[in-house]
Chain A
Amino acid sequence: DQQVKQNSPSLSVQEGRISILNCDYTNSMFDYFLWYKKYPAEGPTFLISISSIKDKNEDGRFTVFLNKSAKHLSLHIVPSQPGDSAVYFCAASAWEAAGNKLTFGGGTRVLVKP
């Protein structure tokens, strides 16, 4: 049962254009969402997060949007740069007495073409 889904396994975008990555979740208890970037042979690198009390969070070129009613979040990267080529994972957590486990989506591979 995949509670967090990234339906696009890959995305190709021209340098300087916008990259839009999407993520859907099913568990209504999720209240904190994160995006990670991963290069081969490295661990995931934290990019940006958003709490369920917000619908938008921005950090430089990265903006995350949350639509709670649709159980959908997206990551916008603008402008896209060649160094952004990586696999992007969305993750979600639910504040519960038993800790802070992250549930990850399957990832979207982004290729930024120069």
Chain B
Amino acid sequence: NAGVTQTPKFRVLKTGQSMTLLCAQDMNHEYMYWYRQDPGMGLRLIHYSVGEGTTAKGEVPDGYNVSRLKKQNFLLGLESAAPSQTSVYFCASSRGRGRTEAFFGQGTRLTVV
């Protein structure tokens, strides 16, 4: 079972460059999330989506945009990368109804130089 798949796994960007992180889930989950994790900070929610075509801001949305054009995909965009966005990014999904445990992708390690 694929579960939640993130691409790419690693990336190095120069300041000011843009990129898109892709998250795909094959569990027909309604909710999808993007988190960043920094040392000592735990998981911080960037944006999330409650269904196809919807997005909402999380705790730290500035500098990021997201889109959920298809139910199975949730894209995270960095329009102009900054060194402060160096982090490990995790995508997750959950059913949203009933049992709501979240399933995570393996993470994307992003370095902005």
Are A and B interaction partners?
Answer: no
Chain A residues engaging chain B, CB cutoff 8 angstroms: none
